[in-house]
Chain A
Amino acid sequence: MLEIKNLHASIGDKEILRGVNLTVKPGEVHAIMGPNGSGKSTLSSVIAGREDYEVTSGDILWDGQSILELAPEQRAHLGLFLSFQYPVEIPGVSVSNFVKTALNAVRTARGEEPLDASAMLKKMREALQLLEMDKGFLSRSLNEGFSGGEKKRNEIFQMAMLEPRLAILDETDSGLDIDALRIVAQGVNGLRSPKASFVVITHYQRLLDYIVPDVVHVLYKGRIVKTGDKTLAQDLEVRGYDWIKKEVE
């Protein structure tokens, strides 16, 4: 469903992605690991359509169609979801209003009816339950004053509401204690299905104990330099990244 072909992207004069190739099939969970500065977050931003990055060559295909020309919201309408590493605080917009606006925007774009208030509320309750979250959460200002764990849970809550076909989790584990990690993973696992795919971007193997990947990639200096199964993640945990760097250079 997602196919990335020889993707090169830069910000300003600096080339960050230097020929990424990646294919994700429906139902698969891919992990992308790599040392700091290898381009992990850039890759997720470029897939989601952030305009600060310029794609200089290559392509991103969604069901075989290029999405490079699509705006971020159009990509979301296709069923792409990005869980942000640093979710933005928006005082004055409640979680419920935000999620409602987002979900109905996506539904409308797909030619579906907007959900009525009671259906919306029911859906929100289910998503909250999955993430062991309190109802009071809905009326809080989006991410404002949230702890690191609350922000990440809020991201997964939104994902549960939007039911994407492909979700990219960008360092969702960073800043989480073990309980929060378990809850977030439980949220993600609850959404796994033969139709939903996940790309889990992480620095550490920890999260992958809970969200077990089908494929593990190592991104280094803007390229995927190694691909394996879940044992690759365990190797990296034990041996670090230096051996990979040596192999590449």
Chain B
Amino acid sequence: MAKIRYGGQAYESRQGESVLECLTAHGVSVPSSCHAGVCQSCMMRVVKGRVPAAAQSGLKPAHAAKNFFLACICRPDEDVEVAFIDEALQRLRADVLEISRLNSDIVRVRLRPRQPLDYNPGQFIRLYKGAGVSRFYSLASVPRLHHEDIHIHVRRMPYGAVSGWIHETLRAGEAVDISESLGECSYLPGHPEQGLLLMGTGCGLAPLYGIILDALTRGHQGAVRLYHGSVDAAGLYLIEELRALSKAFPNFEYIPCVSADEAPPPGFTPGMVLDVAMARHPDLSGWRVYLCGNPQMVSKGRREAFLAGASMGEIFADPFLPASGAACQ
């Protein structure tokens, strides 16, 4: 019988037993729902050995390529070692090149991994502070433009174990551990005419900035609309860069929104980012939608974009973020 290794333990699987059944029988809690390979709640990753091809049926090619599989329909015929997706990340060392201020709360950290990092702009990495503590940060850089350097935006959180350390202690010249990249929230080439609607709050701009730079420099032809919101104009950032980008690329429009100022300075639109964007885009059929930042905005935005006609598969947001919300805090 095949052995299933998880978390340093080896479990003997019985004839015909799935990975989900075997782990559950041994007290390992695996999220699951349909038990039929449909809902994908039980997606895991095989880190040693191979799982039968049937265990990857229905997965996106990018997930299958990363050796993800569905535990409920996986009946291994050889020994395998498995892990939950966010436990199985490879780590690499990266040098801190620069930490620069974007506004009063947010800094940009420029890192250079010592081995090449294969990523799509808008994906996220885990950044480790020592052994135990880590946070997710979205990638605002683009390999074509920034070569081997990667950029993250870090917002200083009250009592933030990692963000506080980055803001106050970490300096250029030091090195940190990061993970390989994760996530589906990035530009997908192949539909250059499609409209792209991007909505973000606060440092949720980081992935959107990477996606926009990626799309525009790949020659995206369709409308690209960025709605970036904050309480007031001081909470926004990269304003001049985004304005310059909209001058250079006529299909790109940047709409900075401020929610707590009814008469904002010229160039800023009053209102909540989602309200402003949805009022201007009542019909989103055929559009691709990106949502990043405040979790309530993301969750409400998903629903509103879907009801406005955007297809579920065309709405992107970071899928499994920690309780803190956006991947930048």
Are A and B genuine complex partners?
A: no
